[in-house]
Amino acid sequence: MAKSQLRLQARKLRLSGLGIKVIAYKLGVSTSTSSIWCRDIALSPQQLQSLQEKAHNPYFGKRGLYLQKQKQLKEEKIKRFFQMGIAEVATLAPRELFIVGVALYWAEGFKKDSLMGFSNSDPSMVRLMVRWLKESCGVGIERLRFRLALNESYKNKAGEIQKYWQIFLGVSDQQFQKTFFQKVKWQKIYDNPDQYRGVLRIRVSRSIDLLRKMYGQIEGLRKNS
């Protein structure tokens, strides 16, 4: 395209409100050439405001493409490391499950009571502890007792939430004690209030000897610190 035609095209684009750098990029000319061709064209206040907004918008033009690419690379990296983490854990061998359970009990288990107990709000962690009690400690599922703790604002959903835990853990409703309601008003607004499951407490009946041995197992981990 001849320079005269490029100049006319540049002026037309400038009149439409495009920036000097954008025009230069579109026409394949230098920024200084684009500026000289359009220097006598005055933009409207609305066009100037639009250019200002674009100048401060990190997602406009090449910057936007660059940031989108960086975001994609970051997401791919996060996913790659996440999958690496899953692969590194893989399937727990009996010895590994035993150590994991002792460590979790050290962190979250009841230590000042006469029976073994554990409480948490993470369903997967609770189910892992139930598995640990069964496979590593030889505790039959019938010896487990559960008590749900809910904020009182979820009182009308207590039955529904308990049913969720029963199905998730594969236990009966007869193993659940009366739900405890926390009379505390929440200040924080949660993103997914419908996913609230409360805190579940596990008690193991006839477990005083297991608890005594647990103290020693925890000490064994402590000596490895």
pTM passes above 0.85: no
Are the C-beta atoms of residues 207 and 109 closer than 8 Å to each other?
A: no
Q: Return the pLDDT at 89.
A: 94
For 113, phi then psi, to 5°, come to: -110, 175
Q: Return the pLDDT at 66.
A: 77
| Gap between the Cα atoms of 154 and 71, Å rounded | 38
For residue 62 the two structure tokens come to: 């090449």
Q: Return the pLDDT at 119.
A: 96
| Gap between the Cα atoms of 171 and 147, Å rounded | 12
Question: Percentage helix, strand, coil, to 5, in the chain?
Answer: 60, 10, 30
| Gap between the Cα atoms of 87 and 186, Å rounded | 38
Give pLDDT tens digits along the chain (225 positions): 667 788 888 888 888 888 888 888 888 889 899 888 998 888 888 888 888 877 777 666 667 677 788 889 999 999 999 999 999 999 999 999 999 999 999 999 999 888 999 999 999 999 999 999 999 999 999 999 999 999 998 999 999 999 999 999 999 999 999 999 988 766 666 677 788 999 999 999 999 999 999 999 999 999 998
| Gap between the Cα atoms of 208 and 4, Å rounded | 94
